[in-house]
Amino acid sequence: MFKLRSPFHPAPLLGVLAVPGLLYTATSSRAAETTVSTKTARIGSATRPSTTKPTTLSGDQKILHTLNRLGFGPRPGDVETVRQMGLGRWIDQQLSPESIDDSKVEGKVSRLTTLNMPANQLMLAYTADTAAFIKNLVKEGKIPNGNDPINNMPATAGQVTKVDTMQLDLKPEQRRLLDMVENSGLPRGLSIQAVGELEVSKITRAVESNRQLQEVLVDFWSNHFNLDVKKGPVRTLKVVDEREVIRPHVLGTFRQLLGASAKSPAMLFYLDNARSTKEFTTPLPRRNLRAINQGFDKNKAARKSRGGINENYARELMELHTLGVDGGYTQKDVQEVARCFTGWSIDRQTGHFHFYPFLHDDGVKTVLGHTIPAGGGIQDGEMVLDLLAAHPSTAHFIGHKLCVRFVSDTPPAALVDRVAKTFLDTGGDLKQVVRAIAYSPEFFSTAAYRAKIKSPFEFAVSAVRALGGQVEVPDPTLQFGRVRLLVDGGASVGQGGGAKGLLRRFEKGRGRNSLAEEVATMGQPLFSYQAPTGYTENSQSWVSAGALIARLNFALALTGGEVSDANISLSNLMEGIPTDNHEAVLDRLSEQLLGGGLSPATRDTLMQQMAPGTPANAAKIAALILGSPEFQRR
Amino acid sequence: MMDVSRRVFIKQGALALASVGLGPACGPYFLRNTVFAAEPDRSSRATGGRKVLICIFQRGAVDGMSMVVPHGDPYYYQHRNVNGIAIPRTGQDGVLDLDGTFGLHPALAPLKPIYQAGHLAPIHACGSPNATRSHFDAQDYMEAGAPGDKSVADGWLTRTLLHCPEDAAKMNSVFRGVAMTSQLPRSLQGEADALAIPDLRTFGINAANAAPVLPRKKNRSMAMGDMQGGHDTSAAGGFEALYDDAVGDVLHGAGKETFEALKMIQSINAKRYMPASGAEYPRTRYGDSLQQIAQLIKADVGLEVAFAEAGGWDTHVNQGSTQGQLARRLQEFGQGLAALYTDLGDRMADVTILTMSEFGRTARQNGNGGTDHGHATCFLALGGNINGGKVLGQWPGLAPEQLYENRDLAVTTDFRDVFGEVAQKHLGVRDLAAVFPHYQSSPDKFRGVLKA
């Protein structure tokens, strides 16, 4: 029987938590449903007119709903497991991911070599792959081509054929850089491989992690603080961002997460704060210029030789990360916030955040009516983050966005208000905020049930999970694995056409796509949304004719064994079901993939897809169910 | 909701059927075998008055001064070395002179006759008023049609489609806006519900997954059924029926459009297309995308805005001169444009092709035989209604003091002056302020790209 655990219950939430229906367990379900029904009925009729659905969710529907929202959908047997342990206990466990053993999936992704690579090496890998003079040397055949792993594969990881740089006609600075690349032992092409590894790790964890809520939240916050691997060194620095900024903080306080993001080298580059400086009265000396220029873009540094603020981060910080576009800030606030963050930049050697006092504007600033005194140095930025993280607009903006992710595209205002209040009352404790949503009657309302369309990523992951599938993690120390990772990375970076050709050779001409490529084809290339807004949380926007084709084809490819890194065994799923019993085949598949609940019309349609007197094609029926309107929803 | 706002092309299908003497009751299934097959002479007809805009984005910032060479500007050969990346003024490999001042890159030879016919106009020194030299930001600003403003969520072509006047000749269809790309480009994102079709030949259910499938486990007693044979083609019918059942669901509408679009595309029979008048498209992704745009136009599916892209213009290193890296890219680029022009024939009366790139490149060549990120570049406009046969725009000059920040060709034509003129004069958009936020549009700013 589920028990309330006091540390997680802030006072304002007790009223909500006291509704017993929310703490559904196998033994208390009946009482629970009657208690909730009046409330859900009201909400249901407010958001969805003329619905003839029952006004309350059944016990199993609640489980299914929770697995679809706080996780990436059920795997075979999950509903039964949650039924046994009690839904409340499952939710609480998910809110404390450290209490859940996840060594199996972490073991699988640990073979990916760049995920734990230090920031300076990742920076170097990016430079090695993009420096014009190195590309030139590759083109002239003077150093090996990293995008051709078949001909340039080290015998073992870390063992790279050394280039004798003295033989090459190079400027001293170029020689120094090339020596650094050569001595690091990093194979070329590693920056694209790193993106591939990031994608594979994200997909693998989403499919196989037992810490489902954590992975959903990582997906949410990684998208909230969007970065695009197509923009410069973000390509490799996103690895650091995902590892050190997003993952450790999704259930901490919002202030911690926001602070980590503000100092994320990838974010500093992506939104140009790395180059934002105070204005100088005389042009900067060359040695000082180097600090701003970060070695990425000489032209820009030259142009900005007198420095000056860049408003990009300041604006997005308020518009997208905290207050929201109508959160009550002005253009003047944008400029003042930008001044506060001058000098927040990157140390190009370490690849870490670095504050440059001589680039910082130390005058007095006024932000949202608050005075930031002169001489504050790095504290100016910290004060701004404090202000923003505790602002009521932020509480509302973040609360609303989370409700859109977890509840519906148009969450009831009363729910958003309560969640925003929890945010403010708990000092932005994200665990309590998510908890407030997960235990709300609105979350379990019939109006919310299957109301969200899955994003392509959610669709792909939930399909693999529903089929009881596993992800085959490529081994980057093997040629085949490396080529696959280059292809995956290429799908997001927008390069790597050559790697796809190599992959075909390995696959003997079969042009199979990986899960990452399929998700990209369906319209959501991972870590690759160009605009700082990230992908929209409004699920209706995923509905379009072109996108649907890609989903149907994915469903067919997946069940037909044509997705290269998805290990699917339909035979396990169909264990004990005779193929000539069409009813039984359909029952098993609809139960496994949709948790039952096929409408009579859909059921009839599917029955007609099996020719009488012939054995059922389980792969085709499974594909039809995965491609059906019902499975597009969560 | 979706069904009301977009008059699905069943309507149009019905019209098309009526035109060959079949009643509308026959439904779209008939289209496959009747409409297009029954009207072989359609290939010689114009687009029926429907104006079509084809946008081609040169991603990576093309060196406009190598596309349309300012060989008459004395500073050109000072900034660029004939032994380096400059295109010689004379000789067999020299520029293809247009007007004594400008000349086409020799690799763009297929475009010369189009210029001479008065159907091609380069618009030089064109670009963005925003100073960014980031590909990322500059493409974003150009495609949003809003330089410097990151809050504009949809694309300029989307807003153009939404503000096109409605009339009987211009029926809404699922094919109003089509990008020949795997993801919808920024230009077409938003509420116009444009389609992204990477390849017509594989845009279909199961088309790419036709390979026979073997079960991974050989336990034949399980319900594997006829899975060994792979998916049969009836899967498409199954999906269609499922989405047909989902009445009242937003997915029902999307499904309906999807299957209509699929049937329409099947009827086009993309695999057996023969370009007209011996037009030869480059056998590349870029060439394919242009050919397939021509197919959609000829099939009369209601296309109004098409989008394609060509990459490989970021020539920091070893750009080459009359031969080399950039010359190869230009060869493919020009051949594709010329093939499209030839293939569409008389239809070009209603078609405008507009090429664009996020910015240009430095006036001077760099130490690696290439060029770095610059400012203004050159756009090309092709079509029957183009005020062609001359180089449009205002040449700012290449003297050091005339260069932008002493390094780049200065922008004298805001790209919105060109986009705006095409949107208004070609597609009939009246309210340009709704398409280009923060932009004061006025006919004075138009560069005379289109005839009055």
Q: How confident is the model at residue A150 (pLDDT cuts 50, 70, 90)?
A: low
**Is pLDDT above 80 for B10?**
no
Q: How confident is the model at residue A33 (pLDDT cuts 50, 70, 90)?
A: very low
**Is pLDDT above 60 for A25?**
no
Q: How confident is the model at residue A528 (pLDDT cuts 50, 70, 90)?
A: very high
- Among A133, A523, A545, the residue with its CB nearest the CB of B254 is A545
Q: Kindly state the helix (H) or strand (E) to which residue A299 belongs, with its residue range.
A: helix A298-303
- Taking an 8 Å cut-off on Cβ atoms, the answer to whether A511 and B242 are in contact is no
**Does B43 or A122 have the greater pLDDT score?**
A122
Q: What is the mean pLDDT of residues B249-262?
A: 78
Nearest residue in A to B135, CA atom: A231
Tell whether B183 lies on the interface with A, counting CB pairs under 8 A: yes
A101-122 CB burial, b ≥16 within 10 A, e <16: ebeebeebbeebbbbebebbbb
3-state helix, strand, coil in chain B (%, to 5): 40, 15, 50
Tens digit of pLDDT for each residue in B375-404? 999 999 999 999 999 999 999 999 999 999
Taking alpha carbons only, the member of A462, A466, A444 closest to residue A453 is A462
Tens digit of pLDDT for each residue in A457-494? 999 999 999 999 999 999 998 888 988 999 999 888 87
- Taking an 8 Å cut-off on Cβ atoms, the answer to whether A623 and B231 are in contact is yes
- Looking at residue A148, its pLDDT comes to 61
- Among A300, A533, A560, the residue with its CB nearest the CB of B209 is A560
**Is pLDDT above 70 for B67?**
yes
Q: What is the C-alpha to C-alpha distance for residues A126 and A234, in angstroms, rounded to an integer?
A: 9
- Taking an 8 Å cut-off on Cβ atoms, the answer to whether B222 and A533 are in contact is no
Contacts of B285 in chain A (CB under 8 A): none
- Looking at residue A287, its pLDDT comes to 60
Ordered by start, the domain boundaries in chain A are 6-95
- Looking at residue B1, its pLDDT comes to 35
Q: How confident is the model at residue A531 (pLDDT cuts 50, 70, 90)?
A: confident
- Collapsing DSSP to helix, strand or coil, B436 comes out as coil
Name which of A178-182, A188-192, A329-333 the model is least confident about. Answer: A178-182
**Is pLDDT above 60 for B140?**
yes
Tell whether B149 lies on the interface with A, counting CB pairs under 8 A: no
CB-CB contact of B292 with B179 (8 Å): no
Q: The tokens of A71 are what?
A: 């996780």
- Collapsing DSSP to helix, strand or coil, B46 comes out as coil
Longest Cα–Cα distance in chain A? 88
- Cβ under 8 Å to B: A residues 325-354: 325
Q: What is the mean pLDDT of residues B114-140?
A: 92
- Taking an 8 Å cut-off on Cβ atoms, the answer to whether B235 and A623 are in contact is yes
**Is pLDDT above 80 for B112?**
yes
**Is pLDDT above 60 for B218?**
no
Q: What is the mean pLDDT of residues A125-148?
A: 79
- Looking at residue B18, its pLDDT comes to 31
Most confident of A62-76, B167-181, B291-305: A62-76
**Does A88 or B225 have the greater pLDDT score?**
A88
Q: How confident is the model at residue A29 (pLDDT cuts 50, 70, 90)?
A: very low
Taking alpha carbons only, the member of B237, B156, B63, B141 closest to residue A530 is B141
Instruction: List own/partner pairs for A604-612 with CB under 8 A and 24 or more apart.
Output: A605/B238, A605/B241, A605/B242, A605/B245, A606/B238, A606/B242, A607/A582, A607/A583, A608/B241, A609/B234, A609/B237, A609/B238, A609/B241, A610/A582, A610/A585, A610/A586, A612/A582
**Is pLDDT above 60 for B44?**
no
Nearest residue in A to B243, CA atom: A629
Q: What is the mean pLDDT of residues A557-577?
A: 92
Q: How confident is the model at residue B29 (pLDDT cuts 50, 70, 90)?
A: very low
- Looking at residue A289, its pLDDT comes to 60
Query: Mean pLDDT across chain B, nearest whole number?
Result: 81
Q: Identify the residue among A230, A548, A581, A604 best suited for mutation to test binding to B, counting B beta carbons within 10 A and taking the highest.
A: A548
- Looking at residue B357, its pLDDT comes to 98
- Looking at residue B359, its pLDDT comes to 96
CB-CB contact of B123 with B379 (8 Å): yes
Contacts of B226 in chain A (CB under 8 A): 614-615, 617
CB-CB contact of B215 with B244 (8 Å): no
Name which of A37-46, A573-582, A603-612, B169-178 the model is least confident about. Answer: A37-46
**Is pLDDT above 70 for A596?**
yes
Strands (E), A393-511: 470-471
Q: What is the C-alpha to C-alpha distance for residues A289 and A295, in angstroms, rounded to an integer?
A: 10
Calculate ∠ Cα A406-A407-A411, nearest 5°. 130
Integer CA distances (angstroms), A234 to A122, A226, A332, in order? 10, 11, 29
**Is pLDDT above 70 for A38?**
no
- Among A325, A553, A617, the residue with its CB nearest the CB of B208 is A553
Name which of A290-294, A316-320, B276-280, B331-335 the model is least confident about. Answer: A290-294
- Cβ under 8 Å to A: B residues 19-58: none
- Cβ under 8 Å to B: A residues 527-546: 530-533, 540, 543-546
- Collapsing DSSP to helix, strand or coil, A334 comes out as helix
Name which of A84-98, A272-286, A521-535, B213-227 the model is least confident about. Answer: B213-227
Tell whether A110 lies on the interface with B, counting CB pairs under 8 A: no
Percent over 70 (pLDDT), chain B: 81
**Is pLDDT above 60 for B39?**
no
- Looking at residue A177, its pLDDT comes to 85
Name which of A346-355, B79-88, B159-168 the model is least confident about. Answer: B159-168
Tell whether A557 lies on the interface with B, counting CB pairs under 8 A: yes
- Collapsing DSSP to helix, strand or coil, A49 comes out as coil
Radius of gyration of chain A (CA): 26
**Is pLDDT above 80 for A583?**
yes
The DSSP bridge pattern shows strands B195-196 and B177-179 to be parallel
The DSSP bridge pattern shows strands A470-471 and B52-58 to be unpaired
**Does B344 or A544 have the greater pLDDT score?**
B344
Sign of the CA dihedral running A634, B1, B6, B7: positive
Cα B52 to the center of its chain, rounded Å: 11
Q: What is the mean pLDDT of residues B67-77?
A: 97
Q: The tokens of B452 are what?
A: 């009055």
**Does B201 or A363 have the greater pLDDT score?**
A363
Cβ neighbours for B382, distance < 8 A, ≥ 6 positions apart: B114, B119, B120, B121, B337, B341, B348, B352, B353, B354, B388
In Å, how far is A252's CA from the nearest CA of chain B? Answer: 30
**Is pLDDT above 50 for A42?**
no
Tens digit of pLDDT for each residue in A442-461? 999 999 999 999 999 999 99
The domains of chain B, with CATH numbers, are 50-203+275-445 (3.40.720)
**Is pLDDT above 90 for B199?**
no
Nearest residue in B to A51, CA atom: B248
DSSP string, B331-360: HHHHHHHHHHHHHHGGGGGGEEEEEE-S--
Contacts of B209 in chain A (CB under 8 A): 553, 556-557, 560, 562
Strands (E), B361-402: 377-383
Q: What is the C-alpha to C-alpha distance for residues A306 and A300, in angstroms, rounded to an integer?
A: 11
Contacts of B243 in chain A (CB under 8 A): 628-629
**Does B26 or B78 have the greater pLDDT score?**
B78
- Looking at residue A512, its pLDDT comes to 86
Contacts of A133 in chain B (CB under 8 A): 317, 368
- Looking at residue A168, its pLDDT comes to 81
- Collapsing DSSP to helix, strand or coil, B57 comes out as strand
Q: The tokens of A284 are what?
A: 């900067």
Instruction: List own/partner pairs for B438-442 with CB under 8 A and 24 or more apart.
Output: B438/B146, B438/B148, B438/B149, B439/B145, B439/B146, B439/B414, B441/B416
Q: How confident is the model at residue A518 (pLDDT cuts 50, 70, 90)?
A: very high
* Residue A307 identity (one-letter amino acid): G
- Among B136, B211, B222, the residue with its CB nearest the CB of A231 is B136
What residues does B413 pair with on adjacent strands? Answer: B126
Q: The tokens of B433 are what?
A: 């302020």
- Collapsing DSSP to helix, strand or coil, B125 comes out as strand
Q: What is the mean pLDDT of residues B237-254?
A: 82
Q: What is the mean pLDDT of residues A402-417?
A: 97
Q: How confident is the model at residue B261 (pLDDT cuts 50, 70, 90)?
A: confident
**Does A4 or A242 have the greater pLDDT score?**
A242
- Taking an 8 Å cut-off on Cβ atoms, the answer to whether A561 and B213 are in contact is yes
CB-CB contact of A111 with A476 (8 Å): yes
Contacts of B57 in chain A (CB under 8 A): none
- Looking at residue B249, its pLDDT comes to 77
Nearest residue in A to B314, CA atom: A132
Per the listing, tokens 């996840």 go with A102
Number of helical (H) and strand (E) elements in chain A, helices listed first: 31, 6
Integer CA distances (angstroms), B31 to B38, B239, B267, B302, B350, in order? 10, 20, 7, 15, 25
- Taking an 8 Å cut-off on Cβ atoms, the answer to whether B251 and A615 are in contact is no
**Is pLDDT above 70 for B32?**
no
Tell whether B109 lies on the interface with A, counting CB pairs under 8 A: no
Cα B366 to the center of its chain, rounded Å: 31
DSSP string, A339-401: HHTTTEEEETTTTEEEE-GGGS--S-EEETTEEE-TT-TTHHHHHHHHHHHT-HHHHHHHHHH
- Taking an 8 Å cut-off on Cβ atoms, the answer to whether A570 and B227 are in contact is yes
Dihedrals phi, psi of B165, to nearest 5 degrees: -65, 145
Most confident of A2-6, B99-103, B148-152: B99-103
Query: Mean pLDDT across chain A, nearest whole number?
Result: 85
Tell whether B141 lies on the interface with A, counting CB pairs under 8 A: no
- Looking at residue A302, its pLDDT comes to 41
- Among B215, B236, B254, the residue with its CB nearest the CB of A571 is B215
- Looking at residue B8, its pLDDT comes to 31
Q: How confident is the model at residue A284 (pLDDT cuts 50, 70, 90)?
A: low
SS3 sequence of A541-579: HHCCHHHHHHHHHHHHHHHCCCECCEECCHHHHCCCCCC
